[in-house]
């Protein structure tokens, strides 16, 4: 029976409204408990003058599966960077934008993160994702499953058969052992199979006679019918195109009247850095983050994440195949596209974000503007959309930028004047505090995923004993002035504790337990399932390259599963 007492830390636990109180955190058998009676076997950590937070949670990152591997294949140069030799307990690491599986787990843990969700799993390739999940040490995982361009989805939406759509989602989550509904450029992935794209929310998808707007609202209704723990998770149409902020706001408006089936948002819109763009072309390109933040300030049915741009190398990867093709043409760089049979598409483009290239400078500002102009800190999550905006190892840089207007000013001196003229960033004085950062790096991620009742993102009794202790004293450090100290502290936590076990001490991995995998098992009425399966059997016979019986991910592919039940009736 292992017991641990973390004494006198300054605790930031927003889900339990604890804002920097000096408290003890007690741990027994891998869970947080109200109290423990000290015995000679109890380990005690003196955390006075240190910050204690729940383990970090990342609701949107690309850590495993076919796209990540396309990125690795395309970037042999990347695997020559970030080399870390094996130690007695760790396996060798390599890579920066697309690190190997071991590095994914160790580096997240070294930043104080204990739970990470992969944001795009095609059902057909889910087995591969789970094989890699099994290889990524320490962190707990889950995955969002692509539904936005699937034939079955578009047909059910066209027939206005939301029950059948819900049955397909339930089946797809079970087939992929996935957690939630991801939608990427709805309709566009399928259109790309015919060399086309959709030009907006109300454009008809070729051959399917449905619009992106209908796909999004249909999936949102089905998502709520199923009472899924997470809302729909959306990569908007026209992402990566100047002027797309109008589509982004129009998309949020579409969903204003949908009632969530639980206490959470109706839609999570991801990587706002690429969605809040004004202008009509690259010449008059500008930020419209203020318009998006204005909308968020008046509506609580939407949450977003930053997808913050980090200057330097990135490997962009997304199910938005046509967008990636456009990117590759624009940048005259190498690219790859993938087609996932009846389900979706994908594209991978390695690139560099360069300072003083005003388009990149403006994109860098957009993510920060959205985070700083949106009043409710719970509404905007800190991400870099790893590795699309940049690798996740740069989160401490983003934290420092959010906490320090001075740091932002210092950074802006290195960027183009057009960035100052075409964004509002230089006029923003807001500086986030430690509580805001705890919200944006763990509490809000767990809340929007529906994981707080499953032990994540907080330090209340019975939560998983995932705890991070940072070497920084909020009484002595003025984050606005001493931003370098802040960045350093978040880069190298004193301790990361996973399920009550020390996995990191002072930046060194000390244990490598295997993580769990969350997935959602949703039930639907038998008659809906029967109608669905009749359709699916036909599709598999006619169009799929594999048999239905070989398609489902078997349980033995899923390491340490945690199955969350959902379902309508």
Q: Which residues bind Zn ion (CB under 5 A)?
A: 119, 385
Q: How far is the CB of 62 from Zn ion (least distance, A)?
A: 6
Q: In this structure, are residues 272 and 306 in contact, taking their beta carbons and an 8 Å threshold?
A: yes
Q: In this structure, are residues 64 and 132 in contact, taking their beta carbons and an 8 Å threshold?
A: yes
Measured between alpha carbons, how far is 169 from 143 in angstroms, rounded to an integer? Answer: 14
Sign of CA pseudo-dihedral 238, 240, 242, 247: positive
Q: Which two tokens stand for residue 255?
A: 């969903």
Would you say 119 or 520 has its CB closer to Zn ion? 119
Would you say 385 or 482 has its CB closer to Zn ion? 385
Q: How far is the CB of 20 from Zn ion (least distance, A)?
A: 32
Would you say 119 or 399 has its CB closer to Zn ion? 119
Would you say 61 or 287 has its CB closer to Zn ion? 61
Q: How far is the CB of 413 from Zn ion (least distance, A)?
A: 30
Q: How far is the CB of 241 from Zn ion (least distance, A)?
A: 17
Q: How far is the CB of 143 from Zn ion (least distance, A)?
A: 12
Would you say 149 or 174 has its CB closer to Zn ion? 149
Q: How far is the CB of 86 from Zn ion (least distance, A)?
A: 30
Q: How far is the CB of 434 from Zn ion (least distance, A)?
A: 27
Residue 386 CA, chain-centre distance (Å), reads 8
Backbone φ, ψ for residue 460 (5° rounding): -75, 165
Would you say 185 or 265 has its CB closer to Zn ion? 185
C-alpha distances out from residue 293 to 257, 262, 280, 333, 365, Å: 20, 24, 20, 33, 13
Who contacts 220 (Cβ-Cβ below 8 Å, separation ≥6)? 231, 232, 255, 258, 266, 267
Would you say 54 or 142 has its CB closer to Zn ion? 142
Measured between alpha carbons, how far is 383 from 59 in angstroms, rounded to an integer? Answer: 8
Q: In this structure, are residues 90 and 105 in contact, taking their beta carbons and an 8 Å threshold?
A: no
Q: In this structure, are residues 271 and 346 in contact, taking their beta carbons and an 8 Å threshold?
A: no
DSSP structure class, residue 385: T
Q: How far is the CB of 387 from Zn ion (least distance, A)?
A: 9
The burial of 35, by beta-carbon neighbours within 10 Å (0-12 exposed, 13-18 middle, 19 or more buried), is given as: exposed
> Could you tell me if residue 567 is left (phi over 0), alpha (psi between -120 and 50 degrees) or otherwise beta?
left
DSSP structure class, residue 2: -
Measured between alpha carbons, how far is 135 from 138 in angstroms, rounded to an integer? Answer: 10
Q: How far is the CB of 99 from Zn ion (least distance, A)?
A: 16
Would you say 138 or 272 has its CB closer to Zn ion? 272
Q: Which two tokens stand for residue 298?
A: 């008046």
Task: Give the three-state DSSP class for 137.
Answer: strand
Q: In this structure, are residues 198 and 141 in contact, taking their beta carbons and an 8 Å threshold?
A: no
CA angle 223, 225, 460 (to 5 degrees): 70
Q: How far is the CB of 233 from Zn ion (least distance, A)?
A: 9
Q: How far is the CB of 116 from Zn ion (least distance, A)?
A: 12
Would you say 344 or 385 has its CB closer to Zn ion? 385
Would you say 317 or 522 has its CB closer to Zn ion? 317
Task: Give the three-state DSSP class for 274.
Answer: helix
Would you say 119 or 225 has its CB closer to Zn ion? 119
Closest CA to 151 of 543, 567, 551, 552: 543
Backbone φ, ψ for residue 53 (5° rounding): -135, 160
Q: How far is the CB of 182 from Zn ion (least distance, A)?
A: 9
Numbers of helices and strands, H then E, in the chain: 19, 24
Residue with tokens 């809906």: 528
Would you say 15 or 63 has its CB closer to Zn ion? 63
């Amino acid at each position: 029976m292992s017991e641990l007492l973390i004494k006198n830390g300054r605790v930031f636990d927003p889900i339990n409204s604890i804002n920097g109180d000096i408290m003890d955190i007690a741990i027994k058998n891998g869970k947080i408990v109200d109290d423990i009676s000290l015995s000679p076997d109890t380990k005690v950590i003196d955390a006075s003058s240190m910050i204690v937070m729940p383990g970090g949670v990342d609701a949107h990152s690309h850590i495993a599966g076919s796209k990540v591997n396309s990125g690795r294949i395309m970037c042999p140069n990347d695997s020559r960077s970030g080399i870390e030799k094996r130690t007695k307990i760790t396996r060798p690491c390599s890579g920066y934008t697309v690190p190997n599986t071991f590095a994914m787990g160790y580096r997240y843990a070294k930043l104080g993160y204990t739970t990470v969700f992969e944001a795009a799993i095609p059902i057909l390739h889910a087995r591969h994702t789970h094989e890699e999940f099994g290889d990524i040490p320490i962190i707990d995982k889950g995955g969002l499953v692509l539904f936005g361009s699937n034939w079955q989805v578009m047909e059910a939406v066209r027939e206005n058969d939301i029950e059948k759509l819900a049955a397909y989602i339930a089946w797809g989550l079970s087939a992929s052992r996935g957690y939630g509904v991801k939608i990427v450029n709805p309709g566009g992935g399928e259109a790309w199979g015919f060399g086309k794209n959709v030009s907006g929310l109300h454009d008809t998808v070729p051959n399917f006679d449905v619009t992106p707007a209908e796909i999004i609202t249909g999936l949102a209704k089905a998502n709520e019918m199923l009472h899924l723990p997470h809302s729909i998770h959306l990569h908007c149409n026209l992402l990566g195109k100047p002027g797309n902020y109008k589509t982004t706001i129009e998309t949020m408006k579409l969903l204003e009247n949908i009632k969530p089936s639980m206490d959470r948002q109706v839609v999570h819109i991801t990587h706002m850095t690429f969605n809040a763009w004004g202008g009509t072309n690259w010449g008059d390109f500008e930020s419209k983050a203020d318009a998006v933040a204005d909308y968020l300030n008046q509506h609580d049915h939407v949450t977003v994440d930053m997808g913050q741009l980090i200057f330097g190398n990135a490997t962009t990867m997304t199910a938005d195949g046509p967008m990636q093709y456009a990117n590759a043409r624009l940048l005259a760089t190498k690219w790859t596209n993938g087609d996932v049979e009846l389900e979706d598409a994908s594209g991978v483009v390695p690139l560099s974000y360069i300072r003083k290239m005003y388009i990149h400078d403006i994109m860098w500002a957009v993510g920060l503007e959205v985070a700083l102009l949106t009043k409710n800190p719970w509404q905007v999550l800190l991400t870099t959309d790893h590795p699309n905006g940049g690798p996740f190892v740069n989160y401490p840089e983003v934290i420092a930028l959010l906490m320090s207007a001075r740091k932002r000013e210092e950074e802006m001196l290195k960027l183009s004047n057009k960035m100052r003229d075409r964004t509002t960033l230089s006029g923003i004085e807001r500086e986030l505090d430690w509580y805001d950062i705890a919200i944006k790096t763990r509490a809000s991620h767990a809340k929007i995923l529906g994981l707080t009742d499953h032990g994540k993102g907080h330090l209340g009794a019975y939560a998983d004993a995932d705890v991070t202790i940072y070497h920084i004293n909020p009484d002595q450090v003025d984050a606005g002035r001493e931003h370098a100290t802040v960045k350093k502290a978040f880069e190298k936590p004193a301790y990361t504790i996973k399920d009550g076990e020390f996995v990191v001490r002072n930046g060194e991995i000390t244990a490598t337990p295997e993580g769990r995998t969350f997935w959602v098992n949703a039930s639907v009425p038998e008659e809906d399932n029967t109608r669905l399966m009749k359709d699916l059997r036909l599709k598999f016979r006619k169009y799929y390259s594999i048999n239905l019986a070989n398609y489902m991910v078997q349980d033995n592919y899923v390491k340490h599963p945690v199955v969350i039940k959902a379902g309508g009736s």
